[in-house]
Chains A and B, each alone.
Chain A
């Protein structure tokens, strides 16, 4: 029983970051219809930006995290502006191919700049784990969980309580009508891509210190993000949140009780099963966004 709680806690921590990745991608994939294979690279960018801020600029840990998120926002906006916007009218596959190119280019530039050696990202938390009734949790992981939840709530608030959020929702329900109502569509797209990438960077900045940073860390992240998005329903932020947590916990339980070799298979099997039973995802609704 002890183990079960431990597995659950481990799973929730991971799940929180999966949720961040998922929300970011559901905005980009679900709302903009961009198959963003480079999403994982923004995750990696977040981790390396944190590393750079801490070791090169000697910033405070929390400032470094903030900087990493800003980095994600900026690079995301630039990418959208330069590469996605001009291809707005092309087919979804064309844009997907460009994002594949971005993925390859980003990952290999990171390899060039930082080398292949994994970087350990320093953090100010103590390494002695907190114990609560048989469950051990490192302070850093607790922080990650809290921060992730905070960002998730922040994303929800952004979409539902701000003018920008309303404009985004309008654009994605019906871009033409929104344009007629005065919404600057192109800016909304840029903002969406930027926010989505910023969230991915946040996930990377948070998980970087927990694990390590290395150039190909984003590959698995991309794949998991897509799973979370579909699980939760395209464009559904609450769905992505729950989907992320579910995936994290399911993976942990699967690895703990079924087989560690087939750990990732658990996630895949769940996805296949869910899609067979509920083809539009766990929380599909007629509307998108929200």
Chain B
């Protein structure tokens, strides 16, 4: 008897929650509605840290915008969804944001597979998405005119490194990357760069996203006779690789790519093992004055610290800020928060975010181009337990 009771309560409860939330959603939509921006990030699962940093950055952008009066005289509201590092969830989240919350634009979805999974929904409903992190080339080359990316694909990163290749004195390089589209794309792009310069590549090893023991790969790399190791993965795995490389006495130049290396966290967690390593980053929170808009960058770093957010998250968190201000600017230019108008306006935005100037150029098949911005790319080095500009990069 108690079982039936319980079951009925549960069923009624679940359905009520579902229906109720829809009703409430409808209600809000009728009032003097805020400008709602959808955010899809991995807030749980193995890359929860990154997703949360981006969320924190987005929240700073939202609060700054609202402090200045919002957009079009209306408050900015973020509708944040967790894609649980699962493409299926990313697609469901996009659907919910578009249909239920009626957002005019979305920022997301961090990982390239998540972004790719959500893309058909964008086309189905005609809603633009600003891609803040994903690096797979295919995202802007698939002919989806609702995609606007502010992060650099791996190819652009390699181009950004090109001027420094000679200065780094690379003679033979090995690759160690996470076995995802990001890692593979990186190996492809930097491999092509080296080939262009006529430099040989030694080994190209992979590690699973959740792997913690890379000793086998390091042992193999030790035998190639290379002098540089390109490392592409998230900061936790970089920490492990550096520690294990130190244990195995792997002595060579290490260059991390992808911008997720969070050098501050590396110094804290890998200690001496991180000494001398180079990192390609898209934001330098250690000397924000040197960023294209020094004042904005410095203010961002200060606000981040004021909120008690971890310093190491800045190298990723800025993406959340830049994505939101880009969308807000587009809404302003469009004059209304209608998805199609916002999409058209995105082609006309010209602003400076924490990373630098944001302006979209056409990318992909003619007639169905996506937008790709050209972000600024920097290289830093860990020296004496601190982050500094490498000798050759000093102006």
Contact = CB atoms under 8 A, between A and B. Distances in A.
Contacts of B45: 216
B49 A260 contact: no
A10 B220 contact: no
B318 interface: no
A10 B222 CA distance: 15
A254 to B, nearest CB: 8
Contact of B52 (A115, A136, A212): A115
B215 interface: yes
Contacts of A92: none
A209 to B, nearest CB: 10
A261 B247 contact: no
Given A127-B273, A256-B220, A261-B179, A118 B236 contact: yes
Contacts of A115: 48-49, 52
B352 to A, nearest CB: 29
A261 B209 CA distance: 10
A156 interface: no
B211 interface: yes
Contacts of A116: 43-44, 47-52
A263 interface: yes
B215 A10 contact: yes
Interface residues of B, number: 44
A214 interface: yes
B269 A10 contact: no
A6 to B, nearest CB: 6
Nearest to A10: B215
Interface string B234-263: 011001100100111100000000000000
Given A116-B48, A118-B236, A127-B271, A136 B247 contact: yes
Given A108-B44, A120-B268, A10 B213 contact: yes
Nearest to B206: A261
B240 A7 contact: no
B217 A6 contact: no
Given A108-B44, A260-B205, A252 B210 contact: no
A256 B246 contact: no
A15 B248 CA distance: 19
Nearest to B312: A117
Given A129-B247, A138-B247, A211 B212 contact: yes
Given A111-B44, A118-B49, A260 B206 contact: yes
Contact of B210 (A137, A220, A260): A220
Given A108-B44, A212-B240, A256-B216, A219 B210 contact: yes
A127 B220 CA distance: 22
Max chain B Cβ within 10 angstroms of own Cβ: one of A117, A136, A254: A117
Given A111-B44, A261-B179, A10 B216 contact: yes
Interface in A100-128: 108, 111, 115-118, 120, 127
Contact of B220 (A211, A214, A254, A260): A260
A118 B206 CA distance: 21
Contacts of A118: 49, 235-236, 239, 269
A59 interface: no
Contact of A263 (B208, B247, B249, B265): B208
Interface in B67-90: none
Contacts of B216: 7, 10, 252, 254-256, 260, 263
A3 interface: yes
Contacts of B312: 117
A129 B48 contact: no
Given A252-B215, A255-B217, A256-B219, A215 B269 contact: no
Given A211-B212, A255-B216, 4 more contacts: A116-B48, A118-B49, A212-B212, A217-B212
16 contacts: A7-B216, A10-B215, A10-B216, A14-B213, A116-B44, A118-B269, A120-B269, A127-B272, A129-B247, A138-B247, A212-B239, A215-B48, A252-B213, A254-B216, A260-B217, A261-B208
Interface of A: 3, 6-7, 10, 14, 108, 111, 115-118, 120, 127, 129, 131, 136-138, 141, 211-212, 214-217, 219-220, 252, 254-256, 260-261, 263-264
